[in-house]
C-alpha cells in the first residue's frame, strides 16, 4: 500500500510553506524562478483539489496523475484546433521542476524518496525528446520564405480592401519580419503577463537608422538587437497605419477588444468609438500583444499558409534559432554569438553542434579521401 497518498496530520508540513522555502533556497531568480513558482503553484492547486495539502502526503499515485495530465496536454497540443496544448519537451520541463522540488524535500528529510522518480509515474509521461541540437525547431529558409510571402500577400490584400484599417494584417506581417530576421526572443518584443518589465517593444526602442532594437534581454538588462533592412519596410508601414500618439505605444498592439476596453479609464464610454481610437482620445497607452497572442498569430498564419513543421507550427524561438543557423553557416560561431547575444560562446556552440559535426565529417572525409 502506498501510504504517502493518505490524509494529512497536524505534524506534517504544508506544501505552500515548503514550496516557498524551496523558491528562496539557492540561486533562483528572474524568469527561471517565475517559471518554477508558476508550475509548482499549479501543481499544488491540483493536489489541494484532491485533498493533498502537505509534503508528506505526496505519493507516486499523485505524480502518476500529474504525468497523465501533462500527457493529455501534449495530445491537445498536436491539434491546431486546440489552444493551451504543450509540447513533450515542455511537459518534461514542468515535470522536472516538480521533481526538483521533491528532491529538495528528500534532502531536507520531508520525504524518504522522490515519488516523481517512480516507474508508475514516469511511465505516464510522453517519451522524453532527444536533446540533440538539430532536433530543435529552426525556421528553415524555405519555411521562412513561405511565411514571409504569405504575410506580405495577406497584408497587401487587406490594404487593397481596407486601406490603413488593415492594422491587424500589417501588425502580423511586421511581427513575422522582426522574428524572421532579427534573432530576438519572443519575450523581448511581446508582453509577458508574468513579468511587469516585459511589456512589449515600444516605438521609442525602434531605431531604423542604426538598424537596431533596444530590448530587455534574458539577463534583465537592456540590449541592442540587430535589425536588418529586410524588416524596416513592414515596420514603417505599420507605424504609418497605427499612428501612435507617442513613442511609448507598443509596436505590436493587442487586437483583443476586451483587453483594449478594460485599459480605458472608468469615465470612458465604450459605445463612443472603436477601442483603439478611444485609447487615443483618452491619452492611454494600449496593451501590447502578449507572447501567447504572438504564438496564436503564428499558428493561424502557418495554418493559412499550409506550413506544417512535423505537425506543428513555426514558433518564435524557432525563428531565433533559424537566424542563428543562417549566420553560423555563413559567418561562423562568433558572428552567430553576437547576433543572438549569447553571453557564453558555449551556448552558441551547443545550439549549432549539429552543423559543426557535419562540417567536421566533411573535412575528415577529405583527409581519408585516398584510402
CATH of region 141-318, choose from 3.30.2290, 1.20.1070, 3.30.230, 1.10.443: 1.10.443
* Residues carrying CATH 1.10.443, the chain: 141-318
> What distance in Å separates the CA atoms of residue 322 and residue 272, rounded to the nearest whole number?
45
Cα–Cα distance measured from residue 348 to residue 342, given in angstroms and rounded to the nearest whole number: 7
**pLDDT-derived band at 358, boundaries 50, 70, 90:** low
CATH class of 3-129: mainly alpha
Render pLDDT for 176-232 as a digit per residue (tens, 0 to 9): 999 999 999 999 999 998 888 899 999 999 999 999 999 998 888 899 999 999 999
Domain with CATH 1.10.150 in the chain: 3-129
> Is the per-residue pLDDT at 57 higher than 60?
yes
Average pLDDT over residues 298-303: 95
Share of the chain above pLDDT 70, in %: 87
- For residues 58 and 25, the model is more confident at 58
pLDDT digits (tens, 9 = 90+) for 27-45: 666 666 788 899 999 999 9
Residues 6 or more apart in contact with residue 268 via CB below 8 angstroms: 278, 282
Cell numbers found for residue 139: 525556421
Closest CA to 18 of 52, 49, 50, 51: 52
Average pLDDT over the chain, rounded to an integer:
86
User: Is the pTM here over 0.85, yes or no?
Assistant: no
pLDDT tens digits along 309-352: 877 899 999 999 999 988 887 788 888 889 999 877 777 777 77
What is the distance between the alpha carbons of residues 291 and 195, in angstroms, rounded to a whole number? 11
Measured distance CA(281)–CA(246) in Å, rounded: 13
Amino acid at each position: 500500500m502506498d501510504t504517502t497518498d493518505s490524509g494529512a496530520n497536524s505534524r506534517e508540513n504544508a506544501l505552500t510553506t515548503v514550496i516557498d522555502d524551496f523558491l528562496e533556497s539557492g540561486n533562483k531568480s528572474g524568469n527561471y524562478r517565475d517559471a518554477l513558482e508558476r508550475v509548482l503553484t499549479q501543481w499544488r492547486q491540483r493536489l489541494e483539489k484532491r485533498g493533498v495539502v502537505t509534503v508528506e502526503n505526496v505519493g507516486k499515485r499523485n505524480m502518476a496523475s500529474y504525468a497523465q495530465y501533462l500527457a493529455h496536454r501534449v495530445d491537445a497540443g498536436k491539434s491546431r484546433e486546440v489552444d493551451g496544448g504543450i509540447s513533450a519537451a515542455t511537459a518534461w520541463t514542468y515535470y522536472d521542476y516538480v521533481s526538483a522540488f521533491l528532491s529538495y524535500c528528500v534532502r531536507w528529510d520531508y520525504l524518504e524518496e522522490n515519488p516523481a522518480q517512480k516507474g508508475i509515474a514516469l511511465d505516464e509521461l510522453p517519451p522524453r525528446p532527444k536533446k540533440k541540437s538539430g532536433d530543435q525547431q529552426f525556421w528553415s529558409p524555405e519555411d521562412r520564405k513561405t511565411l514571409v510571402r504569405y504575410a506580405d500577400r495577406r497584408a497587401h490584400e487587406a490594404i487593397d480592401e481596407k486601406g490603413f484599417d488593415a492594422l491587424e494584417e500589417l501588425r502580423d506581417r511586421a511581427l513575422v519580419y522582426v522574428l524572421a530576421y532579427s534573432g530576438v526572443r519572443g519575450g523581448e518584443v511581446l508582453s509577458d503577463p508574468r513579468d511587469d518589465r516585459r511589456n512589449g517593444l515600444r516605438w521609442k526602442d525602434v531605431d531604423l537608422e542604426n538598424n537596431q532594437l533596444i530590448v530587455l534581454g534574458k539577463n534583465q538588462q537592456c540590449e541592442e538587437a540587430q535589425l536588418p533592412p529586410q524588416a524596416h519596410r513592414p515596420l514603417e508601414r505599420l507605424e504609418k497605419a497605427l499612428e501612435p500618439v507617442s513613442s511609448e505605444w507598443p509596436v505590436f498592439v493587442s487586437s483583443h477588444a476586451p483587453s483594449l476596453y478594460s485599459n480605458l479609464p472608468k469615465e470612458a464610454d465604450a459605445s463612443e468609438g472603436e477601442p483603439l481610437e478611444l485609447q487615443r482620445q483618452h491619452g492611454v497607452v494600449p496593451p501590447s500583444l502578449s507572447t501567447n497572442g504572438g504564438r496564436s498569430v503564428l499558428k493561424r498564419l502557418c495554418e493559412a499558409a499550409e506550413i506544417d513543421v512535423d505537425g506543428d507550427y513555426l514558433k518564435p524561438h524557432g525563428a531565433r534559432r533559424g537566424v542563428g543557423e543562417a549566420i553560423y553557416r555563413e559567418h561562423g560561431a562568433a558572428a552567430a554569438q553576437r547576433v543572438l547575444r549569447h553571453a557564453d560562446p558555449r551556448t552558441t556552440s551547443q545550439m549549432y553542434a549539429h552543423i559543426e559535426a557535419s562540417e567536421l565529417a566533411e573535412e575528415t572525409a577529405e583527409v581519408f579521401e585516398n584510402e
